[in-house]
Structure 1
């Protein structure tokens, strides 16, 4: 896991209602509302200079999927 991915995972832990996160956890089951997730991804795009495509957004199911974008 690279630094970008660690940063994203730490942010997910902060906004998640679940205490212990697994890479296989479904994002929709973490208690993160869509606004928080959109804000997290927007800020990450800005911070890391990454552009997230619509295709990538619609394919996000698990924490691992989110982290894969920032590989």
Structure 2
């Protein structure tokens, strides 16, 4: 997969994030964009791991600190899309 930010779109990033959440034990079918990180059982370490995976696998320059104010999965996606320069 290319790491060129022009190859990313919100849908692809959303699928990637949901797959990453599933990989830490959350049922994919139960993940909604309105779910809070707390509700899904994600802690700060999980968010750090997610940010590192996004940076490494997608080439999107995010840092754990970018997610300090995120509450929902939708918030997380917004941060990632903003860093990827996707409107």
**What range describes the TM-score normalised by the shorter chain of this pair?**
0.7 to 0.9
RMSD: 2.1
Structure 1 unaligned residues grouped into runs of 5+: none
TM-score, scaled relative to structure 2: 0.63
Which structure would you say has the larger RCO, counting Cα contacts within 8 Å and 6 or more residues apart?
1
State the structure with more CA Rg: 2
The alignment of Structure 1 onto Structure 2 pairs a total of residues equal to: 70
For structure 2, the 5+ residue unaligned runs are 1-9, 82-87
So what's the TM-score if we normalise by structure 1?
0.74
- Distance 1:61-1:16 versus aligned 2 partners, 3 A rule: farther
2:6 is aligned to none
Is the Cα–Cα contact under 8 Å of residues 60 and 66 in structure 1 kept in the other structure?
Answer: yes
